[in-house]
Amino acid sequence: MNELQLPDYLVFFTYFVIVSAYGYWIYNRKKSIQADSKDFFLAEGSLTWWAIGASLIASNISAEQFVGMSGSGFKMGLAIATYEWMAAATLIVVAVFFLPIYLKNKIYTMPQFLRQRYSESVSMIMAIFWLSLYIIVNLTSILFLGALAVSSISGISLTVCMLFLAGFAIIITLGGMKVIGYTDVIQVFFLVLGGLATTYLALNLVAEKFGEVGALNGMNLIFSNAGDHFKMIFDKSNSNYVDLPGLTVLIGAMWVVNLNYWGCNQYITQRALGADLPTARSGLLFAAFLKLLMPVIVVLPGIAAYVLYGQGLFQDEMLSGGELNPDRAYPVLLNLLPTGLKGLSFAALTAAVVASLAGKANSISTIFTLDIYKNSINKTANEKTLVWIGRASVIGAMLIAIVVAPNLGIDKKGGFQFIQEYTGFVSPGIFAMFILGFFWKRATAPAAMFAIIGGFALSVIFKVLPNYVDLSFLASSGFGVLNPTSGLVEIPFLDRMGFVFIICVAFMIVISLLTPKENHPKNTLGVDVSMFKTSPGFTLGAVIVLIAIAILYGYFW
């Protein structure tokens, strides 16, 4: 039954009141202090390690994970968890090597880094580009997929759900990063609790279907009835190889995906840029531990739904337009929850969506206000004006997303893969520009410009190439695989990203070496080896995370 009962609404109302009241309390605590832009955008010096870590996860986990990754779990199994488990390893790398550079050089936005390291033109192009990407791809996807899932659970119209989610996110965002950071702690609590409740129900349903009782028995039955869904590394014979090509997820472009997302992304790094280094590192380490848990919440339900579907359950509910739609798995499971628990899971999904919307909107606001408005439109703007412009841009971005989101056909493309592939057009070039900017003083602005424009162009060329060139000759090398959907031999998009990244790095090196010395950047970043030294406590935690990842991959290889 696709509607909530009174107990469900009471549970959800309790969640809404707790988040709103706590956010208002946090806002009022800071109200007596004169608001400035750094406080509004970064919550400078006021976020604790646990608030940073929770905010990272709350901003990262949204409808595309709950709905999209569960759908991928239904379709391809545990292998999709590579995005979560490899992210845990990536967070360690970012904490050790990226954060010290940002914090020592007082970097508050990603365009600021590019302006300080390369040139004004590189920074402005990327600021405009990031705003477009964040609004048209990320904000719209989160809002639409979230509203779609909430609508399917509650029976409330899609438009009303979009307006509610956007409005709730705006209220939180207008309080600034401190309100976002601390309310995200509550959001993560509901996200994890509600997510675990759904997983527990799904495992119980599997056990009951086979005449047994208990979630542990359900887990054993999933292993025995869907063994093919517990392979982390695909070979070329697997129909899902085109999405997750073999060892690429361990030693290939999955690192480009994650390092770009977690280390060169305003939306994510902003949470740590207002803290001191030990606090920021501890926050990222906490997020890494939480990442290890995420597949239990966002992937296992999809695998459970696959087993139940194979046993004849919800055959009609999994259809969309007359065809099997894996992204229906999570909403179908939520609609089977008993009254009360359904409200809890509804709150968890809402928490995930609202936290991500708030985080994304704050990053959009930060880039527009600090890197475009203050830097190019009104260089003499005072702190009060900057905060006002920041709040206005939050509302503006959200209104654009509400209007645009229903017209992109996001639900027809598969939520999680939609975001991954479209951001993958630009990730290789951006990451090449950042990594050489960090660690090679000779990297120049013309080289960075090539990475921006050339990286995007190369990604498009690799994407459309199979339509014009027969790539069958690549099949024997492992870099060409038949896409069952298109019927063409294609280069898997993760491998395409790897190739584009390597080409961008090579061309950046050549262009930089050919650039006359008088055109080399004058103000390079302050970087020294001592910056990368970590505390014993952080080192121990990082080792535990890496060992856990190694064990998981070894067991599910």
Per-residue pLDDT averaged across 68-73, rounded?
A: 84
Question: Does 100 score more than 70 pLDDT?
Answer: yes
In this structure, is residue 554 part of a structural domain? no
Whether 414 and 429 map to the same domain: the answer is no
In this structure, is residue 552 part of a structural domain? no
**Mean pLDDT rounded to a whole number for the chain:** 83
Last residue of a domain, one of 371, 390, 423: 423
Q: pLDDT at position 415, please?
A: 56
CATH of the domain at 275: 1.20.1730.10
Instruction: List, for residues 268-318, the tens digit of each pLDDT value.
Output: 777 777 778 899 899 999 999 999 999 998 899 989 988 888 888 877 777
Question: Does 11 score more than 70 pLDDT?
Answer: yes
Q: pLDDT at position 458, please?
A: 92
Whether 416 and 470 map to the same domain: the answer is no
| Pick from 214-218, 447-451, 540-544: least confident | 214-218
**Six-digit token pair at 291?**
């990442």
In this structure, is residue 146 part of a structural domain? yes
Q: Check if the beta carbon of residue 383 is closer than 8 Å to that of residue 391.
A: no
Whether 289 and 317 map to the same domain: the answer is yes
How many C-alpha atoms does 326 have within 13 Å on its Cβ side? 25
Whether 56 and 186 map to the same domain: the answer is yes
Q: Which domain holds residue 439?
A: 425-526
CA–CA dist 137, 135 (Å, integer): 6
Total domains in the fold of the chain? 2
Last residue of a domain, one of 371, 403, 423: 423
pTM of the model: 0.85
Per-residue pLDDT averaged across 19-44, rounded?
A: 64
Instruction: List, for residues 461-486, the tens digit of each pLDDT value.
Output: 988 888 787 777 776 666 777 777 67
Instruction: List, for residues 402-443, the tens digit of each pLDDT value.
Output: 888 877 666 555 556 666 667 778 889 999 999 998 888 888
Whether 459 and 342 map to the same domain: the answer is no
Question: Does 33 score more than 50 pLDDT?
Answer: no
Instruction: Give the three-class secondary structure for 446.
Output: helix
In this structure, is residue 205 part of a structural domain? yes
Q: Check if the beta carbon of residue 256 is closer than 8 Å to that of residue 83.
A: no
Whether 197 and 244 map to the same domain: the answer is yes
CA–CA dist 312, 109 (Å, integer): 51
Whether 501 and 402 map to the same domain: the answer is no
Last residue of a domain, one of 423, 441, 476: 423
How many C-alpha atoms does 220 have within 13 Å on its Cβ side? 9
